[in-house]
Structure 1
Amino acid sequence: MKTYPKEVGERDPDNPDHWFWAYCWDEKVNGRWKIFKRLVAREKLEEVREAIISNQPVSEILKVIG
């Protein structure tokens, strides 16, 4: 998962509310690798993290994200 700054100025790296969260994955499309991103709502962050840690396939992680 990637993070992007949400707060202007000083951000707490341990405060998930200070960041935008995105799940990124790559797929081969027409013989070339393409990177996809889906924003993750703060409320679903822990569930997505658990799915990633338990090696769920991309399709299942995307179901969690909604």
Structure 2
Amino acid sequence: MAPIPSYAFGTVTVTANGKVVTGTGAIWSEVNARAGDDISIGGNTVIINDATDETHLVIDAWP
């Protein structure tokens, strides 16, 4: 089985109970971040619902 690729570039901002992750220096697209992928920040992991543009991800409410 091939390893699952990982993308780690830039910084992100998300508030408690927030549903949008904003990236600075990140370049998200349907190639490196798409619905169904997960994002891990500070020990928390959530599923990405949508990558709306190169700097915004939609998620369920952040813990």
TM bucket (normalised to shorter chain) is under 0.3
More strand by share: 2
TM-score by length of 1: 0.22
More helix by share: 1
TM-score by length of 2: 0.22
- The structure with more radius of gyration: 1
Task: Report 1 or 2 for greater relative contact order, CA contacts < 8 Å, sequence distance ≥ 6.
Answer: 2
